[in-house]
Structure 1
Amino acid sequence: MDRPVVACVLAGGIGSRLYPASRGDRPKQFLEFGGTRSLLSRTVDRTAFADERYVLTRESFVDAVHDRAPEAGLLVEPAGRDTGPALVYAAWRLRERFDREPVLLSLPSDHHVDDDAVFVARLERAAEIAAETGGLVTLGVEPTRPATGYGYLVPADGGDALGGTDYDAVERFTEKPDREEARRLRESGAYWNAGIFAWTPTALLREARDSPLAGLVDALEAGEPERGFDAIDAVSVDYAIMERASDVFVTPLPVAWDDLGTWDAVGRTRSNRDADATNDRVAGGILSVDATDNVVAAPDRHVSLLEVEELIVAAYDDRILVAPRESSQRVREVVELLRDRDGF
């Protein structure tokens, strides 16, 4: 491809659903979860093929990002407003840094993939599709279960065209369906929306001008990013742009993938099964007596489980969380209450 490929890794969030491991001063992208390298470090390493790499983050995380990804450039968003404003800001900033317009690969810093080589090949292909079509490209993962915590996208041809072209137009997005709808979507050939995108800055800014982020684009082009962020509400890029855009395409990501946003997901992908292979141990020690399918994350502690199943037991610092595993998505509700009472 005759234009530069630039990777932009998003690392400005907190990850409240992974409380208490993730806190205001210790967001999830800096956690290691059983390894010796942070989630952010691993993600930046996966983008080594790109001509340039950047991490998009907030001012308070700059030093921590530099420590974990010194090889990447830094983009600091004026304020935290979710992925929509963040990615529009990144496109505006990065477009002006190159003589020839780049293709941007935008990806979160907190995902699990089981085959880095295939992942890289699909990112490179997504960049080519973005250059060929001039549209917005998203990578879709074939669902392995009727998950209710992920967004889904439906290919225009039900996935049939992918065998010939390896990409298809997106007919519609569905955000976090109930279990019955998730099962139906899975059976109909829909993909999980992995939140990994490829586009040129021109393509994204074009679509953003006809979206709730139009005021931000105007302010950016006037050289007033702070004013633009002050004038908008937090909104995801899916809701603000992707679900409204006309030229959106999906290409498959054929790897085992998970969004490490909940304790349930961390238990599935980052754990070491305990001695009798019945519980997911993320950190700490376990004694298990007739206890199954629990997630235990308790560094420097020992947890005894007796006749319980499908629980989350997470203990970090002076905080302990105990919850049903199926309620992983609701942990953020605990965090919101704590923010109001005694801090997060």
Structure 2
Amino acid sequence: MVFIPVILAGGKGERFWPLSRIRRPKQFLSLDGSGNSLLQATADRLLPLAGDWENLWVITASHLVEGIRQQLPQLPDANLLVEPEGRDTAPAVAWTTLEIAKRYNTDAVVGFFPADHAIADEAGFQSTLKAATELAKTEDAIVTLGVKPTYPSTGYGYIEQGTEYGEVSGLSAYRVARFTEKPDEATAKDFLASGRFSWNSGIFVFRAGVTLSELQSYAPTLVSRLSEEGVAAYPTLEKISIDYALMEKTKLAYVLPVDFGWDDLGDWNALERLHEGNTANVEQACHVGRDTQGSILYSSDEEELIVTIGVEDLVVVRDGKATLIVHKSRTQEIKKVLAQLKENPEFRRFL
């Protein structure tokens, strides 16, 4: 059986504004100083599993196609699926899986991967994917990777382990008991203490036919419209995530609890995790500070100077003609500000 990794590359990355913009979203950025974008890093770690570029696929939004082709010039045009409008992840997964089943067959093992995550232990990541692929080959299983939590996060969804399946390539596998959306702090602490919960990584591996059959049961309109009309069906499709459309309903969900240094890079605070060891500040800018600590300083232009005096726990970002200054505890509110910018014609040029 062939393994087909698919990169989900249509996201907006709004909480990384102003560096992340409509035509230059988070997945096109290099946040670790390596020079490689998050999208390029994702492709690099999936290629050994795919075997070559002919088996690597990307699905993205229409306004990002040019950027995808610039960043991944080796990607065959036929392996780049373009959504005319974003309808969340369920249509993306369903349409791509249908297309892969046509080109290969329903026994093809497919994996879906967000384009904007960071993985510290790439060898561990690849060995985990081999185990997930093995489980998907041998069972009618939709396998998800559950990241072992290190703190009681209220920003992630959680997966509860159910009945133990056994070991697969040295890793313990479990049937999924339930998925839980972002919990409150008390619930997150209970989840962490129980040892039965993992963070939902948004990574899924399955045989194409298994998931298409399950989607036919739980989201029949989605599958029938895409089967009959292909991408032309998009304007009529419900906007819904694959978690809601399928994963929270199927009885075929399995989880591999893993630990390979995963980070979904949700907002600017992630730079502290990427650059561990700097106890005073994270500086990716020409910065001079007095009595400044716990802050994140970023500029896209090394010729620009950021000066801070007497500040603590701030995020300061300069990009072009836009500047962001926000307390680290309130970065989740960046999306609300972007909604304000969208409403004002004078400010839309900054999106």
Per the normalisation by structure 1, the TM-score is: 0.91
By how many angstroms is 1:243 displaced?
A: 1.0
How far apart, CA to CA, are the structure 2 residues paired with 1:240 and 1:184? 27
Work out which of the residue numbers 161, 166, 169 in structure 2 matches 1:155: 161
Q: Does 1:44 align with 2:43?
A: yes
Distance 2:126 2:289 in 1: 40
Match of 1:316 among 314, 319, 327: 319
Task: Provide the rounded CA distance (Å) in 1 between the counterparts of 2:305 and 2:199.
Answer: 36
Q: 1:236 aligns with which of 237, 241, 245?
A: 241
Assess if the C-alpha contact under 8 Å between 1:77 and 1:89 holds in 2.
Answer: no
- Give the SS at the match of 1:171: strand
Q: Shift of the alpha carbon at 1:270?
A: 4.9
| Structure 1 counterpart of 2:40, one-letter code | S
Structure 2 CA distance for aligned equivalents of residues 299 and 188 of structure 1: 43
C-alpha distance 125-162 of structure 1, shift in aligned 2 (>3 A): closer
Tell me, what secondary structure is at the counterpart of 2:229? coil
SS at match of 1:107: strand
Corresponding residue number in structure 1 for 2:133: 127
Matched, 1:330 2:333: yes
CA distance in 2, matches of 1:175, 1:332: 19
2:14 maps to which residue?
A: 16
User: Counterparts of 1:280 and 1:236 in 2: how far apart (Å)?
Assistant: 34
Counterpart of 2:217 in structure 1 is 210
- Within 5 A, what are the aligned runs for 1:9-88? 9-33=7-31, 34-49=33-48, 50-51=50-51, 52-72=55-75, 73-88=79-94
- Give yes or no for contact 1:8–1:55 (8 Å, CA) kept in 2: yes
Q: Give the Cα–Cα distance (whole angstroms) in 1 for the partners of residues 156 and 45 of structure 2.
A: 23
CA shift in 2, pair 1:271/1:17, >3 Å: farther
| CA offset digits 1:72-128 (Å, max 9, x no partner) | 331212321111111111101111011562100110111111111111111111111
Deviation at 1:170, TM superposition (A): 0.8
* SS at structure 1 position matched to 2:300: strand
Aligned-residue RMSD, C-alpha: 2.0
- Superimposed CA distance per residue, residues 199-229 of structure 1 (whole angstroms, 9 cap, x where no aligned partner): 1222222222233x432211122134322x2
Asked if 2 retains the 8 angstrom alpha-carbon contact of 1:293 and 1:311, the reply is: yes
Aligned-partner SS, 2:128: helix
1:195 aligns with 2:202: yes
Instruction: Decide whether aligned partners of structure 1 residues 161 and 328 sit closer, same or farther in structure 2, where only a CA change above 3 A counts.
Output: farther
CA contact (8 A) 2:142 2:211 kept: yes
Residue aligned with 2:155, SS: coil
- The match for 2:123 is 117
Report the more deviating stretch, 289-298 or 85-94: 289-298
Q: Is the 8 A contact 2:106 2:208 kept in 1?
A: no
Task: Tell me how far 1:37 sits from its aligned partner.
Answer: 1.1
Q: 8 Å contact 1:268–1:280 — kept in the other structure?
A: no
- Is the contact made by 1:219 and 1:225 (CA closer than 8 Å) also made in structure 2? no
Match of 1:263 among 238, 243, 268: 268
Aligned residue type for 1:308: V
Runs (5+) with no aligned partner, structure 1: none
1:160 shift after superposition: 10
Within a 5 Å distance, the mapping from 1:225-304 to structure 2 comes to 225-227=231-233, 229-270=234-275, 273=278, 277-281=279-283, 283-300=284-301, 301-304=304-307
Q: Residue 199 of structure 2 aligns to which amino acid in structure 1?
A: W
What is the rounded CA distance, in whole Å, between the counterparts of 2:232 and 2:243 in structure 1?
A: 22
Q: Which amino acid aligns with 2:280?
A: T
Q: Is the 8 A contact 1:216 1:231 kept in 2?
A: no
The DSSP-based 3-state class of the residue aligned with 1:138 is strand
Check whether the contact 1:137–1:248 (CA below 8 A) recurs between aligned residues.
yes
| Displacement over 4 Å in runs of 4+ | 159-165
Q: Which sections of structure 2, spanning at least 5 residues, go unmatched?
A: none
CA 1:224–1:6: 2 relative to 1, 3 Å: closer
CA distance in 2, matches of 1:252, 1:162: 11
TM-score normalized by the length of structure 2: 0.90
5 Å-filtered alignment, 1:171-182, equals 171-182=177-188
Write the distance in 2 (CA, Å) between the matches of 1:145 and 1:175. Answer: 16
* Cα shift at 1:272: 7.9
Tell me how far 1:21 sits from its aligned partner.
Answer: 0.5
- Partner SS for 1:96: helix
| Identity percentage of aligned residues | 33
